[in-house]
Amino acid sequence: MSLTFSDRLISRLTNAQSVVAFTGAGVSAESGVPTFRGSDGIWKKFKPEELANFEAFMKNPELVWEWYSARKKIIANIEPNRGHHTLVRMEQMFPRFAVITQNIDNLHRRAGSTNVFELHGNIERNYCTKCGTPYTNEEVLTQAGVPRCLKCNGLIRPDVVWFGEMLPEDEWEQSVRAAESADVFLSIGTSAIVYPAASIPLMAKHQGAYLVEINPEPTPLTDQADEFLMGASGAILPELYARLVAERQLQQLP
Ligand SMILES: [Zn+2]
């Protein structure tokens, strides 16, 4: 099935100097990343909110680490999908292109995107809660029990933003800057309800970006979007990209 895109969207994208893709859980779900809500096994009895917070970690680091080790192992075996791969190609297509993601699974970088801002951290990274030394998954998962810093013996934690924590300031500021200078802003696979991240598409729109939402179902953002493309990003993005490539070739004809 071939999708039709509006002339306006194609023209906006063809002339865009700066494009931002803002991604959420839907993009990961298309790769098979579980939501870890109501999932099977022993974790069924815990809500993510109960484990993904600093207090829970300090109270019971064994339990929180057991949960993260399980998540890390599942995610390590998951592959980026066609949506991720198309965003890599788009990075090469536009003079400026950024991915702002709320996902922690590292799939954008693994696909090959280089200009990625991670608002909620990255599950493949870890750091010491005492001295800040970073650790890879390999370094922590090979330690028996709760991983500890080799320099100061402090507790190592996953480099993800937990409930009640601030977003990383650098990533936030760079995301806002990218959003506010975007000509086209693509909001992809996100329910647009988790603040403050959810405010980013509207910041882009208020600064003049053409706001496009790609999602299997409407969200609170849909009414504000200039266009709503209903469906999976793994289906829509490759078609959109192919259409843009065709358009460029047409323009280059004598
Ligand atoms: Zn340390």
Question: Tokens at residue 44, please?
Answer: 């069924």
**Mean pLDDT calculated for residue range 179-186:** 98
The Å distance, Cα 228 to ligand 1 centre, comes to 47
pLDDT at 3 (0 to 100): 80
How far CA 181 is from CA of 12, 43, 117, 203, 218, in Å, comes to: 14, 42, 15, 10, 25
CA pair distance 175, 63, nearest whole angstrom: 33
Question: Tokens at residue 11, please?
Answer: 């023209």
pLDDT at 50 (0 to 100): 84
The Å distance, Cα 103 to ligand 1 centre, comes to 26
Q: What is the pLDDT of residues 215-227, one digit of tens each?
A: 999 999 999 999 9
Q: What is the pLDDT of residues 95-111, one digit of tens each?
A: 999 999 999 999 999 99
* Per-residue confidence band for 172, with pLDDT thresholds at 50, 70 and 90: very high
- List active site positions: 120
pTM for the predicted model, two decimal places:
0.94
Residue 171 has pLDDT above 60, yes or no: yes
pLDDT at 250 (0 to 100): 86
Q: Give the dihedral sign, CA 199/204/208/212.
A: negative
Q: What is the pLDDT of residues 32-45, one digit of tens each?
A: 988 666 555 666 77
Percent of the chain with pLDDT over 70: 95
The Å distance, Cα 141 to ligand 1 centre, comes to 16
First to last CA, the chain: 31
**Mean pLDDT calculated for residue range 19-48:** 81
DSSP state of 87: H
Q: Give the dihedral sign, CA 146/150/153/158.
A: negative
The Å distance, Cα 132 to ligand 1 centre, comes to 6
| Cβ 102 vs Cβ 23: under 8 Å | yes
pLDDT at 194 (0 to 100): 77
List, in sequence order, the alpha helices (H) in the chain.
7-14, 25-29, 48-51, 54-59, 61-76, 82-93, 107-111, 137-141, 169-180, 200-206, 233-252
The Å distance, Cα 142 to ligand 1 centre, comes to 17
**Mean pLDDT calculated for residue range 118-147:** 95
- Cβ neighbour number for residue 26 with a 10 Å cutoff: 21
Greater pLDDT, 143 or 254:
143
The Å distance, Cα 50 to ligand 1 centre, comes to 25
Q: What backbone phi and psi angles, to 5 degrees, belong to 212?
A: -120, 130
Residue 209 has pLDDT above 90, yes or no: yes
pLDDT at 193 (0 to 100): 78
Average pLDDT for the chain: 93
Question: Tokens at residue 197, please?
Answer: 């991240």
